[in-house]
Chains A and B, each alone.
Chain A
Amino acid sequence: MNVKQIRILHADDTALMRISREGLLSLNLAEMQAIQAYFADVGRDPTDVELETLAQTWSEHCVHKTFRGLIEYSEDGSETVVIDGLLQTTIMRATHTIDKSWCVSTFSDNAGIIEFDDEYNVVFKVETHNHPSAIEPYGGAGTGIGGVIRDSLGTGLGAKPVLNTDVFCLGLPNMDYDALPKGVLHPKRVFKGVVAGVRDYGNRMGIPTANGAVLFDDRYTANPLVFCGNVGLIPKNRCGKEVIPGDRIVALGGRTGRDGIHGATFSSLELDDTSETLGSVVQIGNPIMEKKIVDALLQARDCGLFRSITDCGAGGFSSAIGEMGQHTGAEVHLENVPLKYAGLEPWEVWLSEAQERMVLAVPSENLDALMQICDAESVEASVLGKFTDSRKLRVLFDGEIVADMDMDFLHSGLPRITKKAVWELPQHPEPNASELAGTDFCSKSSQSEITEMLFKILSSPNVASKEWVIRQYDHEVQGGIVVKPLVGSENDGPGDACITTPVLGSRRGLVVANGVHPRYADIDPYHSAASAIDEALRNVIAVGGNLEHTALLDNFSWGNPDKPDRLGGLVRAARACHDIAVAYGTPFISGKDSLYNEYRDTTTGEQLAIPPTLLISAICVMPDVGKAVTMDAKSPGDLVYIVGETYSELGGSHYYAMQGYIGNDVPNVRPKEGKRTMTAISRAIENQLVRACHDCSEGGIGVAAAEMAFAGGMGMQLDLANVPRDASITADSVLLFSESNSRFVLSIAPENRGAFEAAMAGIAVGLIGTVGETSDFVVKGLRRETIIQTATNQLKEHWKRTFRW
């Protein structure tokens, strides 16, 4: 055994920073100085175990310094304001203001908890696993899903995992190999790796993966993003937890090895071409071990054998035990930790992020019963020590003290830092109307130009069918999925959200959806965030969900927050989260941030940052899934409507992107209108007036209507003249491809016309066409000319061919 004293007591600032850098501690100078001061009081140097414990506990990953710290913020050159806790003052404040009685636990446990039915609550958490997935896509994504499943298991006294979600943001899969930055894996390899990772972990766990998205942008090439989410079901009387001095600390599950050391601090660093040499920072997953843990834990939970539980994630035991014993104290004997192989130093045992481990607080009288269950399930469990009333974290190895620190210092000693943030509205080049496709109606080529543009958007990687991914995930296991990710006459249309009934025999369901709009953030992260919320909620509403019982999660993946412009965008996005959540009455219940998603190309010296990416996940409790609808056109003769007004908002649209522009007119959210629209549609679906409903988003009305037609295997005749629109819109292409928020394309049976239109009173709504007898897909423009004339199977072929891998 080898425990080092780290000489910091007499180190100057330069030496302190060298110690931090060389140790991969990711601690800044103020933090190193605070540690120096604490140990000066104690009168000795810290051990490596102590310093590493502090680095993990104080890492951005574990403590969210940026979101909880002070920010000096200035917008468009205006006066600087100080934000005291960005999370507290925006996202958490929204939850407080909305004050829903069905919120059971928000922002405190490993996942948010909401009420489900009389017997159960539901937990939901989404996390990122970006840095590991960049280096080792398969392992990174697999342990990403494994980690978030353990979040559900570690919430309350343990929830049964019932649904997975995953969202990937990747570089373009057809990228030229020569253009790859040094040390970066090709996006196609990353894509195949992360899909296989989620597939092999999620499928083996027996959890349906039924919702997700895949986004492509060349700025994700060096920093791919992997978001993994899990929903769990938990009995109402198992949602609280406590630790009482004397409780035994029990580690349960996998053995500890050298894998995943420094994961928490690693994720607080920018990547470069040397990152892949840090091989041990990526964990190694074993889904069957985790499945055994679920089997054993849920039995122990139902027998009431433990008082508290958490998962061993970032920082390993140091974080898990440090957190559980925060208000009591803990004494740990590291020699009791079962190891994969001999030779680990104490600090390595303490920090290892080896997967599939949970830590429990077990009253000593329950130990035998717990061990019996673990034996029967072939799960290893070991008593590592006990919780004390010393308010100290004491770690021993073979009787020798290797760490002895005050819990108060560990959890409250972190100096609050002030970061600077600025934000200025960028000005992007605005295209001339004359250069855009399908805008010149004097020319005969316009019809084919618009049709071609629709084909092009449908086959672009962001919009194209992801069936290749979806079918590799088991989305039927557990027998409860009632609206599947793929819907329609040939089971291959793009569903808006999935619905599951986690309690078999009950028609009460959960709707799960997501929204994410990184391209809008190039113009304004505020509207990007607002649009992401609007989109997630539209997806919920489109399948028959409601706003009244819907909760949100936020996941920020951002660039380096120490750079004021990156942080300025983060402030904008967080403010939108507050404003829009409050307006819609949908509280945030949990969230996570992954910052420092930047890559330094050591050949060119270029700094590659991701587009600011906020993933919004939504979960809705639906009283009767029998009322659900899907997006596929149902019967010839059905009437097609657009609900919600269309504005001239092509900024960040697919239409502009296809032609090399970003533009400036980013879609805004007008929450008053949006809420009225969503509430009315929700009621109309509840009253069974709607046969098909589709979120109108990427690619606008053109893409939404095309998808409905080909998912139903039917034609459609549309007339844009009846689209409710802003008076400024005169071009068909704007009307067809604008991505204005809070809009739905839907179809109804002709006999319900009167009732439906009455239900839409006071809302912008237009009857724009009918579902056809033949497979013709025909759109007439504002000047009554035919602007699109094709067949639905043509549209579908363009949509499906991109990822027919």
Chain B
Amino acid sequence: MKPRVLVLRTAGTNCDYETVYAFQLAGANTDLIHINSLIAGQTKVMNYHVLAIPGGFSYGDDIAAGILFANQIKYKLADQLVEFVESGRLILGICNGFQVLVKAGLLPRLDRGILQQATLAMNGSAKFECRWVHLEVKKSPCVFTQGLNPQIYLPVAHAEGRFTAPNPILDQIESNRQIVFLYISPNGYAPKYPDNPNGSDRHIAGICDSTGRILGMMPHPERFLTRFNHPRWTRERLPKGGDGLSIFRNAVDYAQSNL
């Protein structure tokens, strides 16, 4: 049986179509569900193996990016989601989804509770920016990134993507090997703007929880599924599949063999 993926949306979610497509391409059965349906109990999250929160501007990112969506999770769905995570299932948050997971306390989740320990703040450039970035895939327990190339290329598109936390928290994330993606400079130097597009602490682009089963990332893997998504496919020889596709395949493969 194909693994079942729930793509969770709400008012202002807008990367749902391509995220659903990415999971389908990776071989999952995917349902697109409004959070109202989850809160009303019409949909049971435990019927799924993977929960994905796609990009967008949930509730307009009013107050701060992802915070209203995060509060809905914290105050209305916390028990369900903790059960979901503790049962070994997977959660993926992309862009706004990452902001939601961090603000709901599901990442970095150093103490396995649901307490917010970091944030995604306004970009250093003080504006929304859409551009492609080079990423280093760190060695980590993250199940989504096993076997990925050591360097990948993905687009970012956000205004509030600067990952920041107090130094002791950052140290702990680092020593736990919870850093999954780092912004890097393609020529090997220390990344500066725009290689690090938002000024994130320690160039962090994505992190996982200590189990490696919850991943949050600012770059958009669902926007690089085929070589035609690459900004230079008309001038470079590229493999057929995009760097982002492996992340969805890993999730589906993991669910297939473990859940």
In the complex, the answer to whether A628 meets B234 with C-beta atoms within 8 Å is yes
Most buried by B among A287, A471, A479, A504: A479
Chain A interface category by residue count: 35 or more
Task: Report if A479-B128 is in contact (Cβ < 8 Å); known contacts: A288-B11, A377-B34, A628-B234.
Answer: no
Which residues from 234 to 249 on chain B have a C-beta closer than 8 Å to any C-beta of chain A? 234-235
Q: List the B side residues contacting A287 at CB < 8 Å.
A: 57, 60
Task: Report if A288-B12 is in contact (Cβ < 8 Å); known contacts: A479-B223, A628-B234.
Answer: yes
A630 contacts chain B at the CB level, 8 A cutoff: yes
A291 contacts chain B at the CB level, 8 A cutoff: yes
Chain B interface category by residue count: 35 or more
Task: Report if A477-B60 is in contact (Cβ < 8 Å); known contacts: A487-B234, A489-B235.
Answer: no
A478 contacts chain B at the CB level, 8 A cutoff: yes
Type the 1/0 row for A549-567, where 1 means its CB is closer than 8 Å to any CB of B: 0000000000000000000
Q: Within the assembled complex, what's the spacing in Å between the Cα atoms of A199 and B57?
A: 13
B49 contacts chain A at the CB level, 8 A cutoff: no
A474 contacts chain B at the CB level, 8 A cutoff: yes
A203 contacts chain B at the CB level, 8 A cutoff: yes
Q: Within the assembled complex, what's the spacing in Å between the Cα atoms of A482 and B25?
A: 18
Interface segment, one of B105-113, B137-145, B170-178, B225-233: B225-233
In the complex, the answer to whether B234 meets A204 with C-beta atoms within 8 Å is no
In the complex, the answer to whether A292 meets B34 with C-beta atoms within 8 Å is no
A43 contacts chain B at the CB level, 8 A cutoff: no
B82 contacts chain A at the CB level, 8 A cutoff: no
In the complex, the answer to whether A292 meets B157 with C-beta atoms within 8 Å is no
B235 to chain A, nearest CB (A): 5
B135 to chain A, nearest CB (A): 16
B15 contacts chain A at the CB level, 8 A cutoff: yes
In the complex, the answer to whether B128 meets A487 with C-beta atoms within 8 Å is no
In the complex, the answer to whether A474 meets B157 with C-beta atoms within 8 Å is yes
Q: List the A side residues contacting B233 at CB < 8 Å.
A: 482
B158 to chain A, nearest CB (A): 9
Q: List the A side residues contacting B11 at CB < 8 Å.
A: 288, 291-292, 295, 377-378
Q: Within the assembled complex, what's the spacing in Å between the Cα atoms of A626 and B59?
A: 37
Q: List the B side residues contacting A295 at CB < 8 Å.
A: 11
Q: List the B side residues contacting A480 at CB < 8 Å.
A: 18
Q: List the A side residues contacting B61 at CB < 8 Å.
A: 204
In the complex, the answer to whether B130 meets A483 with C-beta atoms within 8 Å is no
A501 contacts chain B at the CB level, 8 A cutoff: yes
In the complex, the answer to whether A471 meets B130 with C-beta atoms within 8 Å is yes
B14 contacts chain A at the CB level, 8 A cutoff: yes
Type the 1/0 row for A280-303, where 1 means its CB is closer than 8 Å to any CB of B: 000000111001100100000000
In the complex, the chain A residue whose C-beta lies closest to that of B130 is A474
In the complex, the answer to whether B235 meets A630 with C-beta atoms within 8 Å is yes
A491 contacts chain B at the CB level, 8 A cutoff: yes
Main secondary structure of the interface of B (DSSP, over half): mixed
Task: Report if A482-B57 is in contact (Cβ < 8 Å); known contacts: A473-B130, A474-B157, A634-B235.
Answer: no
A205 contacts chain B at the CB level, 8 A cutoff: yes
In the complex, the chain A residue whose C-beta lies closest to that of B10 is A378
In the complex, the answer to whether A472 meets B56 with C-beta atoms within 8 Å is no
Which residues from 19 to 44 on chain B have a C-beta closer than 8 Å to any C-beta of chain A? 21-22, 25, 34, 36-37
Task: Report if A477-B14 is in contact (Cβ < 8 Å); known contacts: A471-B130, A482-B228, A626-B228.
Answer: yes
Type the 1/0 row for B44-67, where 1 means its CB is closer than 8 Å to any CB of A: 000000000001110111000000
Q: Within the assembled complex, what's the spacing in Å between the Cα atoms of A278 and B158?
A: 35
Q: Within the assembled complex, what's the spacing in Å between the Cα atoms of A483 and B61?
A: 29
Which residues from 55 to 87 on chain B have a C-beta closer than 8 Å to any C-beta of chain A? 55-57, 59-61
CB contact between A483 and one of B12, B59, B234 (< 8 Å): that residue: B234
In the complex, the chain A residue whose C-beta lies closest to that of B22 is A479
Q: List the A side residues contacting B25 at CB < 8 Å.
A: 505
In the complex, the answer to whether A206 meets B235 with C-beta atoms within 8 Å is no
CB contact between B130 and one of A378, A476, A501, A626 (< 8 Å): that residue: A476
Q: List the B side residues contacting A616 at CB < 8 Å.
A: none
Type the 1/0 row for A188-208, where 1 means its CB is closer than 8 Å to any CB of B: 000000000001000111100
Type the 1/0 row for A365-385, where 1 means its CB is closer than 8 Å to any CB of B: 000000000001110000000
In the complex, the answer to whether A376 meets B235 with C-beta atoms within 8 Å is no
Add 16 more A-B contacts to A204-B12, A205-B14, A476-B220 (CB < 8 A).
Answer: A204-B14, A206-B14, A286-B60, A287-B60, A288-B57, A288-B59, A291-B12, A295-B11, A376-B36, A378-B11, A482-B228, A484-B231, A486-B231, A504-B18, A504-B225, A634-B234
Binding site for B on A (CB under 8 A): 199, 203-206, 286-288, 291-292, 295, 376-378, 471-484, 486-489, 491, 501, 504-505, 507, 625-626, 628-630, 632, 634, 712
Binding site for A on B (CB under 8 A): 11-15, 17-18, 21-22, 25, 34, 36-37, 55-57, 59-61, 127-132, 155, 157, 220, 222-223, 225, 228-229, 231-235
Q: 7 tightest A-B contacts by CB? A: A206-B14, A479-B18, A288-B60, A482-B228, A474-B157, A204-B57, A630-B234
